[in-house]
Amino acid sequence: MVRADATNDSTYMRAALEHARAAAAVGEVPVGAVLVRAEAIIAAGHNSPISSHDPTAHAEIAALRAGGQVLGSYRLTDTTLYVTLEPCVMCAAAMVHARVRRLVFGTWDPRAGGAGSVINVFALPGLNHRVDAFGGVLMDECAALLQVFFTQRRS
């Protein structure tokens, strides 16, 4: 199991939170992601399915696409993806196909989580790659951002 120190995980999660705030500023669900390789952020993204009219425009997918462009390959080996919300099944499967080494996420998604809340894509038998997944990094801050966003939308 590959595990970086908590200080680095928190630092990169704070960067993902900045992208989540950018999503909220334009009316998107505040989820942000950064892709890290060799201790450098090589790509980032935030949710944009509403503005792009694209149901696949999740923060994770945006960061994976950008990372592929930076590396010149769809195989994102030796990378860690930091995301503020537990990925859905689509995003988790994309990480497996991209060969992401680690996933670090902030808060759990009990309605659609694909890293353990509803289903754990990373534990499905027969897959050709395993992603080490860790949840709960800056969980309260990540959860609060989502709670404030949805409270404002409902009022």
**pLDDT given for residue 103 in this prediction:** 98
Residue 2 pLDDT greater than 60, yes or no:
no
- Sheet with 40-46: list strands edge to edge: 40-46, 32-37, 79-85, 102-107, 132-135
Tell me: pLDDT of 151 over 60.
Answer: yes
Mean pLDDT of 103-109: 98
| 73: DSSP letter | S
Does position 50 have pLDDT exceeding 60, yes or no?
Answer: yes
Buried b vs exposed e over 16-53: b needs ≥16 C-beta within 10 Å? bbebbebbbeeebbbbbbbbbbeeebbbbbbbbeeeee
What is the pLDDT averaged over residues 36-58? Answer: 98
Nearest to 142 by CA among 99, 95, 87, 93: 87
For residue 116, what is the enclosing H or E element?
Answer: none
Rounded to two decimals, what is the model's pTM?
Answer: 0.94
Closest to 83 (Cα-Cα) out of 9, 2, 8: 9
Q: Which of 58, 29, 21, 64 is nearest to 44 (CA)?
A: 64
Half-sphere exposure of 86 (CA within 13 A, CB side): 23
Residue 24 DSSP symbol: H
Classify 135 as helix, strand or coil. strand
Percent of the chain at pLDDT above 90?
Answer: 92
Q: What is the mean pLDDT of residues 73-99?
A: 98
Q: Nearest CA to 99 among 126, 117, 79?
A: 79
The whole-chain average pLDDT of the chain stands at 95
**Confidence at residue 147, expressed as pLDDT on a 0 to 100 scale:** 97
Percent of the chain with pLDDT strictly greater than 70:
96
Instruction: Point out the residues that are catalytic.
Output: 60
- At residue 74, the pLDDT reads 97
pLDDT at res. 153:
85
pLDDT higher for 123 or 1?
123
